[in-house]
Amino acid sequence: MLHRVFAIVVALLALAPAAYADVRSDAKAQVEFGIKAAQNELWKEATYRWEKATQIDPTYAEAWNNLAIGYEYAGRFEDAEMAYQRALKLDPNNTMIRQNYDQFKEIDDRSKRRRDR
Amino acid sequence: MQPANQNRSRLGRSFAVLALFGVTAACTNFYEVPIETPIQAKLDVSAFRRVLVAGFISGGTDDVDANMETVRLLRSQLRTKTNLRVIEAEVLPLTELANEQSRANASQPASAPVAADGAVMAPVPSLPQPASPASTGQPGEDTKKPDTPGAIRSKRDLERYERIFADAAFWKKLGEEYESPLIITGTVMFTPQQSAGWVNQNREQYDQLGRRIVVPTRTYMERKGFVLEPKFVFIDGRTGATLYSETQRREVLYPSTQSTPALASYFELMDQLIPDFLGALSTQRIRGSRILLR
């Protein structure tokens, strides 16, 4: 009995990375499609793809970064802030995400200052 | 034998280049894209299809007709940068109108202006003649032109005229003449200024090896320039009520040896203000770039 349980646990552990790889590759496909759409200025489509990617794999920092940019383009600053925060939480040392976030923050602060004036 | 070796090495090199290209393409994990981030307008003007830049109460130097120039500039900016139809009408001599109004109020106290909500407002008080020292268009110049009676030279002088913006009946009547547009009016102070003090400057130098270096230095300088302080008032032409107003301030200083015409300074400062002014009426897009990641 113990042997059987052990065998099942081993099998599950062996299969987990494969399943994760599958999830990531599905999300990656959405991200890449989104990038192509954004490069052709189809930002709505791009944002939709990145939303899907983050639903498929919520641990995909790059997808959150792209989604934040999509929200930024649409003027959805609160959603963009949340997506950037998520991306940075997942990958705090990513300088490119940090750079994007800093640029976004500058505009967001400016927009808030204008509203308060 | 040698040509065969050469061919082989050339083929090898081509493969290496191709492989390198393939690896680079596969490893490109980021793409820089241009992006235009929108900043929402401060004012909802969806109810208006037309805009009337009525006129401004202006003061400061006599070298620039700030009322006329501001109206012309704002009209041209609104025409090209917003969807509103700009009404081409005579520029209102607002200072004179405010003067007339206050004179009429002084002689007929019963005809007090009515606010948008129907409440009777206190009449616009009579405008005393300001006795501020005269200033000229050339920044820092000490020449004294004889002051025209009622000339607006300081912000204090200007405050006496500002009650006209609260006169809803006046603006409503004006709005009716032009099919109830959005009315833009306000005040513009354009005054010369002078300052002297220590200024941080960067001086270019070349070291012994001929390399260019920039050395920060502090220099005592006398400078002159202008201050531009407009207050933009946005009025609903249907009711005469003020929808929104904002005051801005920009200044520019030049070395005292430099001679800059007042009109050039006026446009230099207005150029800085225009994006904020337009931002009140229409969504502004800020251009930049972001990095998309794979």
Residue of A nearest to B32 (CA): A39
pLDDT at residue B116 in the model:
44
- How many domains does one find in chain A? 1
DSSP annotation of B282 reads S
Secondary structure, 3-state, A71-103: HHHCCCHHHHHHHHHHHHHHCCCCHHHHHHHHH
pLDDT at residue B6 in the model:
64
Neighbouring CB atoms inside 10 A of A59's CB total 14
How far apart CA B134 and CA B140 sit, in angstroms, is 12
Tell me the per-residue pLDDT of B150-169, one tens digit each, with 9 for 90 and over.
Answer: 678 777 888 888 889 999 99
Q: Predicted confidence band at A98 (pLDDT cuts at 50, 70, 90)?
A: very high
Select from A35, A100, A114 the Cβ nearest to the Cβ of B39.
A114
Beta-strand relationship, B250-255 and B30-39: unpaired
Q: Give the distance from residue A113's alpha carbon to the nearest chain B alpha carbon, in angstroms.
A: 11
Residues of A near B (Cβ–Cβ under 8 Å) read 28, 31-32, 34-35, 38-39, 61-62, 65-66, 69, 72-75, 94, 96-97, 99-100, 103-104, 107, 110-111, 114-115, 117
| Predicted model pTM | 0.63
Contacts of A107 in chain B (CB under 8 A): 37, 39, 286, 288
B40/A75 CB distance under 8 A: yes
Q: Give the distance from residue A35's alpha carbon to the nearest chain B alpha carbon, in angstroms.
A: 7
pLDDT at residue A17 in the model:
60
* A34 located within any domain: yes
B42/A100 CB distance under 8 A: no
Tell me the per-residue pLDDT of B241-266, one tens digit each, with 9 for 90 and over.
Answer: 999 999 999 999 998 888 889 999 99
Quote ipTM for the complex: 0.84
Which residue segment(s) compose the domain that A82 sits in?
A: 24-116
A75/B279 CB distance under 8 A: no
Q: Give the distance from residue A106's alpha carbon to the nearest chain B alpha carbon, in angstroms.
A: 11
Q: Give the distance from residue B37's alpha carbon to the nearest chain A alpha carbon, in angstroms.
A: 5
pLDDT at residue B131 in the model:
37
* A66 located within any domain: yes
Tell me the per-residue pLDDT of A8-23, one tens digit each, with 9 for 90 and over.
Answer: 666 655 655 666 678 8
Q: Which residues of chain B have pLDDT under 70?
A: 1-28, 107-150
How far apart CA A77 and CA B30 sit, in angstroms, is 23
Grouping H, G, I as helix, E, B as strand and the rest as coil, residue B197 is strand
Helices assigned H by DSSP within B64-93: 66-81
> Which CATH number is A58's domain given?
1.25.40.10
Contacts of B294 in chain A (CB under 8 A): 28, 31-32, 35, 62
Helices assigned H by DSSP within chain B: 2-27, 66-81, 94-107, 155-159, 168-177, 262-281
How far apart CA B19 and CA B9 sit, in angstroms, is 15
* A14 located within any domain: no
* A9 located within any domain: no
Q: What is the CATH number that goes with domain B46-192+225-293?
A: 3.40.50
Contact B175, B237 (CB under 8 A): yes
Show me where the domains of chain B are located.
Answer: 46-192+225-293
How far apart CA B153 and CA B146 sit, in angstroms, is 12
- How many whole angstroms from its chain centre is CA B203? 31
Q: From A89, A114, A112, select the one nearest A101 (Cα to Cα).
A: A89
Residue of A nearest to B248 (CA): A117
A107/B37 CB distance under 8 A: yes
